Structure 1
Amino acid sequence: MDRTRVRGSRQLMVFFKRRVHQLVKSSFCSSRWFHRSTTRNAEFSHAVIGGGIVGVAIGSELQSTNGNNVLLLEKNASLGEETTSRNSEVIHAGIYYPRDTLKGSLCIRGKNKIYNAERSGQFQVPLKQCGKLVVAQSEQEQEYLEKLYKHSCDMDVPVEMLSKKEVAASSPLIQANSAALHSPSTGIISAHDYLLYFQTVLENEGGTIGLNTEVIDINFNSNIPEYRLVLRESSSKEEFEITADNVINAAGLYAQKISNLILPEERHMKSYFAKGTYFSYSPEIPMSSGKITSKLIYPCPNPNASSLGTHLTLDLGGQLKFGPDLEWLNITDADDIDYSPSPKNIGEAYKAIRTYFPSIRENDLQPSYTGVRPKLVSAEENKARFQDFMIREEEGFPGFVNLMGIESPGLTASWAIADYVKDLYHK
């Protein structure tokens, strides 16, 4: 129990009682400053719900602030088991998102923090700034790319337009019938090691991580004020309670469910989910990925699409993969998600991929894994308008911060999201 990671409710209860006793014995509790600059005496200054990359990043940033005592709660047996471990691991440049949106600003800031940390030599997380091409196959798509080029320049994101001949010269197996947009600041990163970086900071700074611990109820006592969280140990189903001055809901696929535990019924939100399948590339005649491309390849996206299309990405070992495609799920509870990849998706994925990689054959593709994006709106609403991240302190619940719809570019933006949340408490 000397470590700050605890795995079950009995351990948690013993640990919490010892931690609270130590805090009361010291003068630490009376000198802590939290949201609204008031002195409080809950067991924890902040309870962060959700152990994905965003939750762990937030926890590490808050714990690194003097006076904070952060508890990170994760219902699974380890951190990052859901969306964090089921994505493309792309460092997005920030070229797609409208100006003055959280997705746009936090993506760019998060990307810059990653590359600046790497250049400092203090950031031992495997990554590669490989760049990407967004390819246009028609005049209409080229017009879209030209608008994207102007938008990227306005956002101070480096880009350049390439002609059909320039693409053919550098990547002869990649087809761009009209033009391509080159994004040199796009990259790839190990999501596992990135999460481990924040986890190490959180633990080294004295934060507490509670694994196998599900939040089943939250109550706010406005007289104290403080939040009381009812927790349940995943295997034994034993329940217990802890208190916190502030609560951050970074539960990802479960964010709406957590929010609905505390907000009044008229402010409840429905959950929507979009599943994407990733495909491995196994041609009958092996070909090194370097002969195909050294950059990520993206098709030209449709405006207000729910995804960026079935694209070609590389992992840090140089292996090609394709995906994700897009399939809206007809469920309302994340517990009902089926992550099994299905061969039925191969046909449509093949049609999409061969528009920019015409030499691929359908038999070269195999379903590999799937990921699910937490959505704030339905498929119909998503087509009608751009949907931004939602990060806000809820009215009437001081210190309760909701993060919802944290999908792509959430991995890239995670460090900047953590700064954004920290600034809500420590302005």
Structure 2
Amino acid sequence: MPPVAFPASLCLAKRFFRSTTALSSDFSHIVIGGGIVGVATAAELQQEPSNRVLLVEKHGALAQETTSRNSEVIHAGLYYPPTSHKAQMCIAGKNKIYDACKRGTFQVSLQRCGKWIVAQSEADEEYLGKLASNARELDVPVEMVSVKKAKRDYPLIRAERAILESPTTGIISAHDLVMFHEARFENSDGTVGLNSKVTNIEYNQGNSNYTVTMETDGEEIELTTDNVVNSAGVFAAEVANMVLPEPRQYEYYFAKGNYFSYTPEQPLRQKITDKLIYPCPNPNASSLGTHLTFDLGGQLRFGPDLEWLDITKPEEIDYTPNAKNLTPAYEAIKTYFPAITENSLVPSYSGIRPKLLSREQSQSQFADFVIKEEEGLPGFVNLLGIESPGLTSAWAIAEHVKSIYHK
């Protein structure tokens, strides 16, 4: 078989993959989507000596969408049903991050700051009791903090009824985490294709492989692969539907999360908090509420809120933060931070949650990650509905995908 020639943008450090007569496909795996989950998955698959992995990203750089538009929180995993992918992947991903940090081989900026979930009403307090029970069943450390102690330590934070502390919650640089997995992928001779948009996928039943068509640098190319991992983020449903029969196709719903930067109008004479502060969340954790977080430099920010979008295609997404949501965000925040003023908030940025349940369905059902090899499509693995806690879960999801191929 002659060498597979790629445009320059499809090659990382000008490395060209050359097919050999021993291989029937150009690649063993094509991973679609260069967000944190796609990069981690490609890196994990490339650790197998027999694999030749191509990571395809439509943008000119990795991690330009959901990964770069989140709270950068290392979630503890206490909110989700014990048997769910969200719980299992979040806890395993968190542990991998902290374990790698302990070993000293993980050059990623992070801080294990912990968080408080604050209850203002009897219903909130009852919810915290159930959440603590769920955490204990998951073996996630939690402890109750007395309201008296909270007022002494952080007098600007309001918690009328109860506080549940999650000491294994932290914050991390999403950019550094992507670079860590990108380096793992590069160092094991993986290939990255930037500016490469997948336009079609076809299963070749006779060869038991796939033809992936993509546009790159204004031209259309076709590559064959034994396996496909669909980690296309907000575009994952569209990619899945390229190859799935119509009765099994997926529909995405999009929810926007707006973030607000904070600059106090008057200097505050007291420390606000060293902990992340979360209100009690919406039903089924479709949103964890407009919470107080900070970055690794200590700059406070609030968000995300939850704004369902009336769109059906990811191409229609407008990432401009919605200024109309500032007042509702202020009203939500002042329930646990009464000193805040509306004028101290400014719309900053937004992210999108790709959801498999509608607004109405989300009120009564729990939406788990979908991580599955599709029936009748051997080697085609879908990663769908990867919203929060996707950043924390990425490394564990990558290992899980690898286990599907290498049992």
Q: 1:219 aligns with which of 197, 202, 227?
A: 202
Task: Please point out which of 395, 402, 420 is paired with 2:375.
Answer: 395
CA drift at 1:343: 1.7
| 3-state secondary structure, aligned to 1:133 | strand
2:271 maps to 291
* Closer, same or farther: CA 352–11 of 1 in aligned 2, 3 Å: closer
Contact 1:388–1:405 at 8 Å: present in 2 too?
yes
Aligned-residue Cα RMSD (Å) equals: 1.8
Q: Is the 8 A contact 2:10 2:195 kept in 1?
A: no
C-alpha deviation, 1:140, in angstroms: 1.4
> For residue 255 of structure 1, what is the aligned residue in structure 2?
236
Contact 1:163 1:178 in 2 (8 A): no
1:19 alignment partner in structure 2: 17
Report if the CA contact (8 A) 1:9-1:232 is conserved.
no
- In the alignment, what sits opposite 1:87? 70
Q: How does 1:15-414 map to 2 (within 5 A)?
A: 19-21=17-19, 23-24=20-21, 30=22, 41-233=24-216, 236-287=217-268, 291-414=271-394
Contact 1:299 1:308 survives alignment (8 Å)? yes
Cα deviation for residue 18 of structure 1 reads 5.1
Deviation of residue 11 (structure 1)?
Answer: 5.1
Kindly provide the amino acid, as one letter, of the partner of residue 262 in structure 1.
V
2-structure distance, mates of 1:179, 1:243: 57
Greater helix fraction, Structure 1 or Structure 2? 1
Secondary structure of 1:416 counterpart: helix
User: Does the residue aligned with 2:284 lie in a helix, a strand or coil?
Assistant: coil
Q: Aligned letter for 1:372?
A: I
Instruction: Work out whether residues 111 and 172 of structure 2, in 8 Å CA contact, stay in contact via their aligned partners in 1.
Output: yes
| Paired positions, count | 403
Q: Deviations over 1:243-300 (max 9, x none)?
A: 1000000001000000010111111111210001000001122348x80000000001
Q: Which runs of 5+ in 2 are unaligned?
A: none
8 A contact 1:160–1:183 mirrored in 2: yes
- Amino acid across the alignment from 2:195: N
Q: Which 4+ runs in 1 deviate beyond 3 A?
A: 8-18
The CA distance in 1 between the partners of 2:144 and 2:11, in whole Å, is: 58
Paired with 1:201 and 1:314, the residues of 2 have a C-alpha distance of 28
1:267 is aligned with what amino acid? R
Q: 1:165 & 1:294 partners in 2: Cα distance?
A: 17
Asked if 1 retains the 8 angstrom alpha-carbon contact of 2:117 and 2:277, the reply is yes
Name the CA distance, whole Å, in 2 between partners of 1:374 and 1:101: 18
Q: What is the aligned partner in structure 2 of residue 36 from structure 1?
A: none
Report the Cα distance in structure 1 between the residues aligned to 2:367 and 2:293, rounded to whole angstroms. 24
How far residue 41 of structure 1 moved from its aligned partner, in angstroms, is: 2.0
Q: 1:313 to 1:220 in 2, by over 3 A?
A: same
1:95 is paired with a residue whose SS is coil
- 1:9, 1:240 within 8 Å by CA — same for their partners in 2? no
Matches of 1:264 and 1:286, distance apart in 2: 60
Q: Which moved more, 1:179-188 or 1:299-308?
A: 299-308
Alignment match, 1:37: none
Aligned residue identity for 1:357: F
**1:15 offset after TM fit, Å?**
10
Distance 1:396 1:17, change over 3 A: farther
* Deviation (angstroms), 1:65: 1.2
Partners of 2:13 and 2:183 in 1: how far apart?
19
Give the counterpart letter for 2:266 in structure 1.
Answer: I
- What is the identity, as a one-letter code, of the residue corresponding to 2:349? Y
Q: What CA deviation, in whole Å up to 9, does each residue of 1:317-373 have, x standing for no partner? A: 001000001100111111110000122111000000000000100001000000001
> Which amino acid in 2 is paired with 1:286?
P
The 8 Å contact of residues 9 and 239 in structure 1, kept in 2 or not, is answered as: no
TM-score, scaled relative to structure 1: 0.92
Contact 1:42–1:245 (8 Å) recurs in 2: yes
Identity %: 57
**Contact kept in structure 2, 1:49 and 1:72, CA below 8 Å:** yes
Q: Which consecutive residues of structure 1, in runs of 5 or more, have no partner in the other structure?
A: 1-5, 25-29, 31-39
Q: Secondary structure at the match of 2:49?
A: coil
Tell me, what secondary structure is at the counterpart of 1:384? Answer: coil
Q: Counterparts of 2:235 and 2:107 in 1: how far apart (Å)?
A: 31
Residue deviations 1:103-149, cap 9 Å, x none?
00100000000000000000000000000000000111111101111
Distance 2:153 2:78 in 1: 22
SS at match of 1:61: helix
CA distance in 1, matches of 2:203, 2:13: 23
Q: Using the alignment, how far apart are the partners of 2:84 and 2:391 within structure 1? A: 16
1:13/1:240 contact within 8 Å kept: no
